[in-house]
Structure 1
Amino acid sequence: MGNASSMLTQYDIEEVQEHCNKLFSQQEIVSLFQKFCQLDRNSKGFISADEFLSVPEFAMNPLSQRLLKMVDGLNFKDFVAFLSAFSAKASLHHKIEFIFKLYDVDCNRKVSFNHIIEVLGDLSSSFISDEEREQVLCQLLQEAGYTRNSLLTLDDCIKVLDKSGIRMDVEVPVD
């Protein structure tokens, strides 16, 4: 695919589709490529943290600093793979895997009570108190057989969140 200013070939589109488990149509991939090229202002072939922050919706997201660790330096294929967690076609397992990476702040493949509380605080600090947040999380963990001292693996998070009905779908606008 070369640099970001090059055109996508049919082969490139199919390769990206395979890379993201066919969660996006060919037309959606072309639209995503156009957005990628807009973000990649210097046509380097990857998007920097600063370029991601130029998107107001991203910059205003309470989790933007955590997300930046996941997206800084993504090439187009990895950009699409990152966005695939938000596809309506993505499995619940795929979505939970994405969420797990967001909570795994020190990248040790384990999530602590405090990691979860930090992220929940970023998301809900103005809506509920720290005590209420901790109480809800303790109850959720207890119902799944864990305590506030448990270190959760991805499989544990799947067990906890599997029945939660997570919704994090974003529609890709097709021009």
Structure 2
Amino acid sequence: MLRMSLRRMIAIFDEDGGGDVDFQEFVSGLSAFSSKGNKEQKLRFAFKVYDIDRDGYISNGELFIVLKMMVGSNLKDQQLQQIVDKTIMEADLDKDGKISFEEFTKMVENTDVSMSMTLDTF
């Protein structure tokens, strides 16, 4: 699971899809966590975490994979799938079976993304 999580983190930062993260990509990825980063930038980064195939949507399978990385063996797959199905059902406003960036934004609009994705400075 750790290896899969590390590969996922590299893929999130790897903007050009080259399979590795250069310094510019690393800095660009970290900038989403800056106090100077705006809410849209933070939302786009969070969306990228879930959009594994980079098609602009979060599918049922993608949401399951990412949540599985987060919860590990704390939930049975069946329980996790129920959470995924309910999340997709509630967030998928146009009923196409996947979550767009706009739907994702609406889903998290009541959370303070700016604060939860900002690193404190020393």
Settle same-fold status: TM greater than 0.5: yes
2:72 corresponds to which letter in structure 1? S
Percent of aligned positions that are identical: 24
User: Which residue is equivalent to 2:10?
Assistant: 68
2:46 corresponds to which letter in structure 1? I
Q: 3-state DSSP class of the match of 2:89?
A: helix
The separation in 2 between residues aligned to 1:160 and 1:79, in whole angstroms, is: 28
Larger radius of gyration: 1
User: Which residue is equivalent to 2:78?
Assistant: 131
User: Which residue is equivalent to 2:100?
Assistant: 153
- Structure 1: tracts of 5 or more residues without a match: 1-59
User: Which residue is equivalent to 1:169?
Assistant: 118
RMSD, aligned CA: 2.8
The separation in 1 between residues aligned to 2:4 and 2:37, in whole angstroms, is: 23
Runs of 4+ residues over 4 Å off in structure 1:
145-149
User: Which residue is equivalent to 1:112?
Assistant: 59
Over 3 Å counting, the alpha-carbon distance change for 1:66 and 1:146 in structure 2 is same
The separation in 2 between residues aligned to 1:142 and 1:92, in whole angstroms, is: 25
The separation in 2 between residues aligned to 1:83 and 1:130, in whole angstroms, is: 32
Q: 3-state DSSP class of the match of 1:63?
A: helix
Q: 3-state DSSP class of the match of 1:164?
A: coil
Alpha-carbon deviation of 1:145?
4.5
User: Which residue is equivalent to 1:144?
Assistant: 91
1:169 corresponds to which letter in structure 2? T
Alpha-carbon deviation of 1:149?
6.2
- Structure 2: tracts of 5 or more residues without a match: 15-19
TM-score (norm 1): 0.53
Q: Give CA-to-partner distance per residue, 1:90-124, whole Å, 9 cap, x none.
A: 33322221122122222222220110110000111
Conserved in 2, the CA contact under 8 Å of 1:101 and 1:107? yes
Over 3 Å counting, the alpha-carbon distance change for 1:111 and 1:62 in structure 2 is same
Over 3 Å counting, the alpha-carbon distance change for 1:171 and 1:88 in structure 2 is same
Over 3 Å counting, the alpha-carbon distance change for 1:146 and 1:132 in structure 2 is farther
Conserved in 2, the CA contact under 8 Å of 1:113 and 1:150? yes
Over 3 Å counting, the alpha-carbon distance change for 1:144 and 1:108 in structure 2 is closer
Is the counterpart of residue 122 in structure 1 residue 69 in structure 2? yes
The separation in 1 between residues aligned to 2:108 and 2:8, in whole angstroms, is: 20
